[in-house]
């Protein structure tokens, strides 16, 4: 749902409300209790992207990806009880530890 909104709505410029309605029809009342958004600075993101082969969406260009990032940020700020933003510029083990901690705290696991 959220990726569809970010990539198709914000990124590709489709009407976000239309994308939402289609996805709501598909998922019904099944919404996640927790959404974790991983964010990082531009230089870390560029370095990581340059270390591997990119798929079609990853090759869509910086303007597209900036719109997607803004879409995710908008959704996270609009629903802070459901979303948790994690700084993913830290080493992978630190990022994973943060995610585990948030899942335990937010979901009582």
What confidence tens digit (pLDDT) does each residue in 6-52 have? 999 999 999 999 999 999 999 988 889 999 999 988 787 777 777 77
84-108 per-position pLDDT tens digit: 999 998 898 999 999 999 999 998 8
- Cα torsion angle, 66, 6, 82, 78, sign: positive
Q: Are 5 and 20 in contact (CB under 8 A)?
A: yes
Confidence of residue 53 (pLDDT cuts 50, 70, 90): confident
Domains of the chain: 2-107 (3.40.50.300)
Q: Are 98 and 38 in contact (CB under 8 A)?
A: no
109's CB contacts (< 8 A; 6+ apart) are: 103
Q: Are 67 and 19 in contact (CB under 8 A)?
A: no
Answering whether pTM is above 0.75, one says yes
Element (H, E) at 83: strand 83-87
pLDDT(57) > 90: no
């Amino acid at each position: 749902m959220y990726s569809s909104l970010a990539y198709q709505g914000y990124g590709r410029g489709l009407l976000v409300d239309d994308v939402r309605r289609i996805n709501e029809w598909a998922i019904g009342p099944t919404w996640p209790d927790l959404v974790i958004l991983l964010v990082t600075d531009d230089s870390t993101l560029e370095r990581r992207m340059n270390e591997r082969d990119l798929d079609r969406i990853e090759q869509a260009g910086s303007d597209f990806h900036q719109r997607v990032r803004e879409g995710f940020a908008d959704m996270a700020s609009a629903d802070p009880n459901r979303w948790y933003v994690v700084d993913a510029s830290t080493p992978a083990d630190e990022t994973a530890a943060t995610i585990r901690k948030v899942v335990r705290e937010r979901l009582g696991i």
